[in-house]
Structure 1
Amino acid sequence: MNNRRYPNFGVLLVDDEAPFLRSLSIALERRGGINHIYRCEDSRNVMTMIAREPIGLVLLDLTMPHLSGETLLQQIVEEHPEVGVIIISGLNQLETAVKCIRLGAFDYFVKTTEEERLIEGVRRAIQLQEMRKESQAMRQRFLTDTLERPEVFSDIITQDKGMRSVFQYLESISTSSQPVLIMGESGVGKEQIAHAIHTLSNCSGPLVSVNVAGLDDNVFADTLFGHQRGAFTGADKARAGMVEQASGGTLFLDEIGDLSLASQVKLLRLLQEGEYYPLGSDRPKRIRARVVVATHQNLEEKQQLGEFRKDLYYRLRIHQVEIPALRQRKGDIPLLLEYFLAEAAEELNKTKPTIPKELPVLLANYSFPGNVRELRALAYDAMSLHHSKMLSMEVFRRILNQEIPCTESDKSATPIIFNPDQPLPTLQEAGELLVAAAMERAQGNQSLASRLLGISQPALSKRLKKKEP
């Protein structure tokens, strides 16, 4: 059973006509997916309810006995400025509408003729309220540099400030119903981030993961939306799609950058309308899951090339987080190496070896194109070959000696090493600068520095002795 409430805050409906309150509640839930609703028929109780309940948005009738909607609007704006107000009136009067907007109302709708516009307006107001709350939460976390639920991220091995900022951002958007776009190179741990988002959201339902790479349009639709019996040849019985299986939880779509244009249209409708049609059905179903997507590709470049829909891209990037590559958080390499070696030792039933002091320095000078996943594979490979107390560095030395081919963009671009406004150094000065930089990167280890320079260790030692006074 799905008990997820949308939005995270309450929506208070205020009208002295009980039948209208009931019909509006039904319309908001069925057509807008809004089920966190409070109702009030007596205008005198409105301020008490706002103070007592977690109200974030009020739909306010203008003409009521006791207290008018205009009077209540002014009180709400003055006493609870964080609460949004939408005016609903039986009168289509431009002057009244303008006055209400000036007093602080978010929008103004006419009861009898604008139900569709009203539902869209409520959804729009909810999104703005969510973003305002997220902005406040984010500002508070960054100012105090705190994490409210650090245990959620305990499985992500890091001490990097950039990763901590990512965690703070995820906590700030945890209550939002909007999709989240996770970006980052392959192997940085995007799926772990999706799991953290799911946990932070306090969902009652499951996390359902789908890798959409390589799915054609028909398979994508069937996988996500399911089908009715007889929808196509071989459909002997109805099958619930991943969207329905994720009800009350999180739907994680990995490799979203590989989605075909036809499937992108279906995903856009799902996100915009909040509903979908199982194959073979003419009755829509509402999505009851939060959508999280991930990609290692640059979606902005893909949409500029016409390979990714611009409207879908902007819909997905409402909440966007980029996970830094391992080479951008080198301080995490020793931590991760220790963790993966211990994990591999336990799995292979071996004793965890001592790590040579120069190994973290060696790895800090490697770009790790495969990121955390590559480091884990190297640790397991080293442990499988390990037989003594000290861990052999042979596996790790091999990767440093490998040549990484340049991309076409690398070949065409000439890096600027020296300031064009300054005179060039002599060959001897350039050589000394290069040696100094290599020694700094190698943290004084001549053997490693010589590898970085492509010369022998004795040759480097000779150069260093010449430089000595």
Structure 2
Amino acid sequence: MKLSRNILLVDDETRWLRTIDMLLNRHIPEAKTYTCENSRQALQLINDLDIALVLLDLNMPVLDGRQLLRDIREQAPYVRIIILTGLNETEIAVECMKQGAYDFITKTSSTDQLLLCVRRAMEVIGLERRYHQVKDGFFNRMDLSAFNQILTTDIKMHDCFNFAATLQDSREPMLLEGEMGTGKHVFAQALQQLVSPELPLPEVSLADLSMQMLEQKLFGSANQVGLLDMAGTGFLLLDNLELASFEVQRLFSQLCQRKRYFPQGSLRETALKCRLLFSTTSSLEQLEQQGFSHGLLYCLLPQRLKLPPLRERTADIGLLLQHFTELACQELGKDYLALPHDLARLLETYPFPGNIAELRALTFTAVGISHGQELALAPFFRVLEQPQLTPPIERMTFPAILPTISETTQQLIHEALIRTNNNQSAAAKLLGITQSALSRRLSKQ
């Protein structure tokens, strides 16, 4: 099942269709919008265009919205439907929801309410379709041998392996999230082994990279093949996404959506053959707070892999400690060193801000200074005895043109409702206000 973002507007009012089509294209650019004035053609369009969401008017000639709703639910059960109603049709809309509609909204509602309703539906669609992809992958008995080099017994890591394996035939971009030192590069190499083991994994850092330099690297020049061509049918690793400029974000947003580009010096567009694999130490939520391109973020959301930090997979510490000790002994030409009793258990209390990379560095240092038959403890005790730093409070970032207090309040309410799945009571608690106060603010929007 594809992770489609296509929207179909079904209504016999041409002017209204054009207005909503322009609104969605402007504010939800990651979704492709289609219109249909003849309700009898809607089902065929849903199948042909891989529609994910339908905005359906109730009152149409020949085939009305209620009958079309029943037909869609029967023939395309994974398609979400938002019913469009008049002012006096609330009872009918509620009945439609009992028959399988996702939500309803009146045509007289504000554009903000319509956009909020559509965004919520698209988020639910993404989650549902991703779930079905993962479920189908489990039943197909996936081959996870590409991840054999990653030592872990942690269930979260194995979930990442399984999810990645379900996406091996997808052509959509992927995102690797994880703190520094969590093994994103090793995981990227495993993904390449899974998809195109015969190809190397080209990579480029997006940190402080000008548009001119990036375009030259991606699209090539007269004397050099571009990375998009060099990657073939495998992955192209794009590291440090959190440091990409807005121009770079916009370039990748267009590339992810269109999947076509102009090679250097060519007047013809070329289809994108490789898969884009982004890597970041920031979460999508943090990137959104930084003002990242929403078009790019929505492209990455469905195929997002979050690697857990080492402090959340403490059962792996002993396994990794043993592995790094043996590896360091081989590289440094030392005899096997036994692990001190309870060292792994002691390290489980340490938060490992540098994650696996820090554990590896500590172990190599310990092997290097070890004398006798047991691993030296000094490097580990030094970090265990250090006072733990309090994480700094995140500073809010604002755009160049400051929003008004009213606009900021609306955005906070919108974000709180998204995080709580539209639960007003929970959203009010997040915002530090009463539910009645939140209801009053919503009624004024």
Paired position in structure 2 for 1:249? 234
Paired position in structure 2 for 1:396? 380
Mapping for residues 154-233 of structure 1, pairs under 5 Å? 154-202=148-196, 205-227=199-221, 229=222
Mapping for residues 318-333 of structure 1, pairs under 5 Å? 318-333=302-317
Distance 2:313 2:128 in 1: 31
- The code of the aligned residue for 1:272 comes to Q
Distance 1:400 1:305 in 2: 34
Q: Select 1:86's aligned residue among 32, 48, 58.
A: 48
Distance 2:362 2:141 in 1: 32
Deviation at 1:207, TM superposition (A): 2.5
- The code of the aligned residue for 1:320 comes to R
Distance 2:337 2:199 in 1: 42
- The code of the aligned residue for 1:86 comes to D
After superposition, the C-alpha distances for 1:30-87 in whole angstroms (9 at most, x for unaligned) are xxxxxxxxxxxxxxxxxxxxxxxxxxxxxxxxxxxxxxxx9xx99xxxxxxxxx9429
Q: Select 2:135's aligned residue among 139, 155, 168.
A: 139
Distance 1:95 1:221 in 2: 53
Mapping for residues 33-432 of structure 1, pairs under 5 Å? 85-86=47-48, 102=71, 104=75, 135-139=131-135, 148-202=142-196, 205-227=199-221, 229=222, 237=223, 239-306=224-291, 308-409=292-393
Helix, strand or coil for the counterpart of 2:238?
Answer: strand
Distance 1:202 1:278 in 2: 23
**Change in CA separation of 1:286 and 1:205 when aligned onto 2, cut-off 3 Å:** farther
After superposition, the C-alpha distances for 1:250-296 in whole angstroms (9 at most, x for unaligned) are 11111111111111111111111111223444332221101111100
Segment of structure 1 superposing worse, 246-255 or 196-205: 196-205
The 8 Å contact of residues 255 and 261 in structure 2, kept in 1 or not, is answered as yes
Helix, strand or coil for the counterpart of 2:233?
Answer: coil
TM-score, structure 2 normalization: 0.59
After superposition, the C-alpha distances for 1:64-117 in whole angstroms (9 at most, x for unaligned) are xxxxxx9xx99xxxxxxxxx9429xxxxxx979x9999474899xxxxxxxxxx
**Change in CA separation of 1:215 and 1:176 when aligned onto 2, cut-off 3 Å:** same
After superposition, the C-alpha distances for 1:375-408 in whole angstroms (9 at most, x for unaligned) are 0011110111112011121111011112333233
Helix, strand or coil for the counterpart of 2:374?
Answer: coil
Deviation at 1:190, TM superposition (A): 0.8
Helix, strand or coil for the counterpart of 1:291?
Answer: strand
The 8 Å contact of residues 203 and 250 in structure 1, kept in 2 or not, is answered as no
The 8 Å contact of residues 337 and 379 in structure 1, kept in 2 or not, is answered as yes
After superposition, the C-alpha distances for 1:292-340 in whole angstroms (9 at most, x for unaligned) are 111001332232332x111111111121111000000100000000000
Which structure has the greater CA radius of gyration?
1
**Change in CA separation of 1:257 and 1:95 when aligned onto 2, cut-off 3 Å:** farther
The 8 Å contact of residues 144 and 162 in structure 2, kept in 1 or not, is answered as no
Paired position in structure 2 for 1:58? none
Helix, strand or coil for the counterpart of 2:202?
Answer: strand
**Change in CA separation of 1:332 and 1:288 when aligned onto 2, cut-off 3 Å:** same
Deviation at 1:362, TM superposition (A): 1.7
Distance 1:185 1:85 in 2: 41
The 8 Å contact of residues 144 and 165 in structure 2, kept in 1 or not, is answered as no
Helix, strand or coil for the counterpart of 1:409?
Answer: coil
Paired position in structure 1 for 2:55? none
Deviation at 1:131, TM superposition (A): 9.2
Deviation at 1:343, TM superposition (A): 0.5
- Identity across matched positions, percent: 31
Deviation at 1:209, TM superposition (A): 1.6
Helix, strand or coil for the counterpart of 1:271?
Answer: helix
- The code of the aligned residue for 2:189 comes to H
**Change in CA separation of 1:86 and 1:100 when aligned onto 2, cut-off 3 Å:** farther
Q: Which sections of structure 2, spanning at least 5 residues, go unmatched?
A: 3-40, 50-60, 80-124, 395-445
Aligned CA RMSD, in angstroms, stands at 3.6
Paired position in structure 2 for 1:116? none
- The code of the aligned residue for 2:374 comes to M
- The code of the aligned residue for 1:326 comes to L
Helix, strand or coil for the counterpart of 2:161?
Answer: helix
The 8 Å contact of residues 274 and 287 in structure 1, kept in 2 or not, is answered as yes
TM-score, structure 1 normalization: 0.56
- The code of the aligned residue for 2:303 comes to H
Deviation at 1:150, TM superposition (A): 3.1
**Change in CA separation of 1:131 and 1:407 when aligned onto 2, cut-off 3 Å:** closer
Distance 1:312 1:393 in 2: 46
Paired position in structure 2 for 1:457? none
**Change in CA separation of 1:408 and 1:150 when aligned onto 2, cut-off 3 Å:** closer
After superposition, the C-alpha distances for 1:151-204 in whole angstroms (9 at most, x for unaligned) are 211100101111111111112222211111110100001112222222333576
Distance 2:244 2:177 in 1: 15
- The code of the aligned residue for 1:253 comes to L
